[in-house]
Amino acid sequence: MKSKITELAKRRGLFLPSFEIYGGASGFYDYGPIGALIKNNIEQVWRSKFVLKEGLFEISSPNIGIEDIFIASGHAKHFVDPIIKCKKCGKVYRADHLIEEYGIKTQNLSIKDLSEIIRRENLRCISCKGELSDIESFNLMFATYIGADSKKAYLRPETAQHIFILFNRLYEINRKKLPLGVAQIGRAYRNEISPRQALIRLREFSQAEIEYFVFPSEKKHERFSEIANIELKLLPAENEDEIKISVKKAVENGIIANELLAYFIARTYEFLREVGIPSEKIRFRQHEKHERAHYAIDCWDAEVLTQAFSWIEVVGIADRGDYDLKAHSKMSGKKLTAFDGEKHVIPHVVEPSFGIDRIFHCIIETAYRDDGKRKFLKLKPNIAPYLAAVFPLLTKEELIKKSHEVFALLKNKNIFCYHDVSGSIGRRYARADEIGVAFSITADFQTLEDDSITIRERDTTEQKRVNIKELAEILIKLRDGEIRFNKL
Amino acid sequence: MKSKITELAKRRGLFLPSFEIYGGASGFYDYGPIGALIKNNIEQVWRSKFVLKEGLFEISSPNIGIEDIFIASGHAKHFVDPIIKCKKCGKVYRADHLIEEYGIKTQNLSIKDLSEIIRRENLRCISCKGELSDIESFNLMFATYIGADSKKAYLRPETAQHIFILFNRLYEINRKKLPLGVAQIGRAYRNEISPRQALIRLREFSQAEIEYFVFPSEKKHERFSEIANIELKLLPAENEDEIKISVKKAVENGIIANELLAYFIARTYEFLREVGIPSEKIRFRQHEKHERAHYAIDCWDAEVLTQAFSWIEVVGIADRGDYDLKAHSKMSGKKLTAFDGEKHVIPHVVEPSFGIDRIFHCIIETAYRDDGKRKFLKLKPNIAPYLAAVFPLLTKEELIKKSHEVFALLKNKNIFCYHDVSGSIGRRYARADEIGVAFSITADFQTLEDDSITIRERDTTEQKRVNIKELAEILIKLRDGEIRFNKL
């Protein structure tokens, strides 16, 4: 199926390897015309669910950050991978990956431990069997320099740091009140040693992150009751097996550290469902102690079960305590505090961090259908690249003209749609289905008589007839889940 | 006024200097919570007008590009500024700017000419009067390196190049047909020597670019008639003064090189009007021969008259011929052609390139109102950060509850809005006006009785009463210009 999706992706423009005419560079992909529309929709659903409905501040920061930020955050020192070079052919490996290629487990080993294994086992370059260099630390940030006086800077490895350093301004804009929730959608960069796995491990990727600042004693949420009874599949750090438990009970039993963290875990679950991931493919895995940053109070990954890559992390939701604000306060010499009525305290922060490209992959993989007879992407209408495609039944002038009118009408209502007259109606349906167009609208001879028109639903291929006057409104209601197709 | 906007920008979060707690870095700004919403709206209006209504392909490429791309495009060699250093204090200047500080004109001078002036006039460092170094070429791209084997790369200086190198894929996805219009919204980067002027000259900025590929003999547009009669203010290269002329006549008289270029000039004019720039502040200035790249067939800048910076370029619209595809074809050894039925030809391209941050600046400056009594941003409803703010008339429990219900109702319709109970109703109106909220919705005692509610228009402060059931639909129609407030 992986190769089928890759074929579809190239042919129809979901995603394309970057710089292909120049031989490419691994870890970089372009979203093509269909992929970009789908990605925009994912981001719009996220923006609506979190920025609008959770009342967050959205900001948009530079991708470039000056060095100080990442010295403070620890990235300049600790955001490294161990690399090793072949002295003969010059090939570079991630040391732990090289060792694992020889069938030896490396989880949580230090550079010293890894070096020891390589010496002891006399490991060699995989391609040419040449002798290997010593292991070095390789920083995963892309470095660059600002201005003619060459001030050192990095491409941000996450969008989050730019939120932390703006804390005082944002706190003031929020009229010096907590909670203060801040969101950012944007690119982030990690200079991976040898990225594979298409959209799953990119050197440039899209994140949607939230930093939700609260007083340390107030890790609650006023709308907790709205999500308290949602049942989640959890894999706590101490357990072998997944458990199914309500959000409320998970907090009461001390499985999830606090209500606020649990609140965002539940909203994350809802989001993944809203973009089309089935609940049985979603679980939340708690980080084990050794995985967790030392300062993190509790941390959970939303994982999605994929065919291509088994369970993969798509969202991380962490209670990061006061670590980040404290670090930037120390480095900058500026107070980063909030006033709780009695004393100025450093807020704690809960951070849900979404990997948009991974979510995109999961959506496409989940939606892909090929039953031999018919290929289609079973995308939810809010995610479909086009909500509608508009056709004339036959390529007769009067039908083409009518279908053009309908097309213009939908465009003016800001409904993403396209018009297609090429080939037979069957071919046009097939082309629309393949990229997941939600509804096909066909003008036929009856349309010329009474202004009624057919809507065909992609998944069932069933058709209904509605009046052109109501068409735009019906499509929007179908998209927003306010009416169901079979009730038309 | 500039300082008033800067004060508002910081206090309410339109835009904020980046990395402020670390002393900042010129040429970098964050969009704060209000600015990010406005910027999103500008991009959405652009996406609707161009991607949807012009039927373009939108793509989303990496910000990083490998070196080959920019060798081919000429940026690696020619995208440079002349710099000069003080040998005493180390200060770096753009050589031409330094000379102009001494009151000497430098337009279109070579490095040799500039060096000659500095020697002849014995110019010195402006701050310390120290002796100056020789002039060097400084490349304006941010360089970085990919992977452990350090493959050279740059942050893209424009989004366009990534479209050119994808041409073959996009042409195939378009079923091997021209015209093929491709759009991209995203970040671009220029490592300016000493950027000033806030959002006007940034080192990291947002572009929205279109590459519209056609056969060289077909520089027309099938919907030219829709815009043929629009009157534009043009400043042709040969003229001293602006002329007012219809698009059609400008093409007929040979002022604009062809219909296709003229078509996008007209659509650009419409776009600027749609986001709120008044027509008298918009003109199109033709590049003079010496400004124009040697390959450009014709090139026009959309300029907006600002108080802060006089006329500034916000959009460039150029007929670039076959230069770009030819350059990438030569460098990559790949054919980048389209089949016209008889022969394979390199398409020509017309490129409208929008500077989103500059447009943002112009919109805010144009919208800013302070008559001593009342401050407000007269933003069009499609650009306003929030379409609505929802208030209770008084902070009485039953009114607060009702206003919360209305707030929830609007959010569920994806209308960007917020809820505010703090201070008097007058204070809440003032806060909403200041950031350009389009409509304020107030629940009062009559609302409790008959579910009617008041809508207050920001610009006139007039109020109308409507039923809650119709509220969302009315707001959307007001935003989309389908109904007018005074007709409610």
Q: What is the reported pLDDT for A5?
A: 92
Length of chain A: 488
Residue B331 has pLDDT above 80, yes or no: yes
- Tell me if A18 and B168 make a contact (CB, 8 A cut-off): no
Q: What is the reported pLDDT for A296?
A: 85
**SS3 at position A422:** coil
What pLDDT band is residue B170 in, cutting at 50, 70 and 90? very high
- Tell me if B92 and A147 make a contact (CB, 8 A cut-off): yes
Conformation bin of residue B471: beta by default, left when phi > 0, alpha when psi is -120 to 50:
alpha
Residue B355 has pLDDT above 90, yes or no: yes
Residue B396 has pLDDT above 90, yes or no: yes
pTM of the predicted structure, to 2 decimals: 0.97
The residues, any chain, with a CB within 8 Å of residue B428's CB and separated by 6 or more, are B389, B391, B420, B422, B440
| A168 backbone dihedrals φ, ψ, rounded to 5° | -60, -45
Q: What is the reported pLDDT for A401?
A: 97
Whose structure tokens read 């807020």? A347
The whole-chain average pLDDT of chain A stands at 96
Q: What is the reported pLDDT for B308?
A: 80
Residue B108 has pLDDT above 90, yes or no: no
pLDDT digit string, tens, across residues A71-116:
999 999 999 999 999 999 989 999 999 999 999 988 888 899 999 9
Chain B positions in Cβ-Cβ contact with residue A211 (cut-off 8 Å)? none
Q: What is the reported pLDDT for B325?
A: 98
Out of B22, B36, B422, the one facing A58 most closely (by C-beta) is B36
Residue B109 has pLDDT above 90, yes or no: no
Q: What is the reported pLDDT for B438?
A: 98
pLDDT digit string, tens, across residues A122-137:
999 999 999 999 999 9
Residue A406 has pLDDT above 90, yes or no: yes
Q: What is the reported pLDDT for A295?
A: 81
Q: What is the reported pLDDT for A470?
A: 97
How far is C-alpha A145 from the geometric centre of its chain's CA atoms?
A: 29
Contact B250, B232 (CB under 8 A): yes
Chain A positions in Cβ-Cβ contact with residue B33 (cut-off 8 Å)? 57-59, 170, 173, 182
Residue A237 has pLDDT above 90, yes or no: yes
pLDDT digit string, tens, across residues B266-275:
999 999 999 9
Residue B15 has pLDDT above 90, yes or no: yes
Q: What is the reported pLDDT for B309?
A: 80
Check: complex ipTM more than 0.90: yes
Residue B197 has pLDDT above 90, yes or no: no
For B70-76, the CB contacts below 8 A with 24+ separation are B70/B141, B70/B154, B70/B157, B70/B161, B71/B331, B72/B327, B72/B328, B72/B330, B72/B331, B72/B332, B73/B161, B73/B164, B73/B324, B73/B327, B73/B328, B74/B327, B75/B139, B75/B141, B75/B154, B75/B157, B75/B161, B76/B139, B76/B141, B76/B154
Chain A positions in Cβ-Cβ contact with residue B428 (cut-off 8 Å)? none
- Tell me if B58 and A40 make a contact (CB, 8 A cut-off): yes
Q: What is the reported pLDDT for A462?
A: 97
Give percent of chain B with pLDDT exceeding 70.
100
Residue of A nearest to B46 (CA): A414
Residue B416 has pLDDT above 90, yes or no: yes
Q: What is the reported pLDDT for B124?
A: 95
Q: What is the reported pLDDT for B290?
A: 80
| A39 backbone dihedrals φ, ψ, rounded to 5° | -60, -45
More confident residue, B387 or A198: B387
Residue of B nearest to A8 (CA): B173
What pLDDT band is residue A1 in, cutting at 50, 70 and 90? confident
- Tell me if B22 and A162 make a contact (CB, 8 A cut-off): no
- Tell me if B16 and A334 make a contact (CB, 8 A cut-off): no
**SS3 at position A154:** strand
- Tell me if B172 and A31 make a contact (CB, 8 A cut-off): no
What pLDDT band is residue A183 in, cutting at 50, 70 and 90? very high
pLDDT digit string, tens, across residues A307-354:
888 999 999 999 999 999 999 999 999 999 999 999 999 999 999 999
A to B CB pairs, distance under 8 Å: 228
- Tell me if A193 and B147 make a contact (CB, 8 A cut-off): yes
Weakest mean pLDDT among A451-455, B3-7, B20-24: B3-7
Please report which residue ranges of A159-253 form alpha helices under DSSP H: 160-165, 167-173, 224-227, 247-252
Instruction: Specify which residues A283 forms β-bridges with.
Output: A303
What pLDDT band is residue B293 in, cutting at 50, 70 and 90? confident
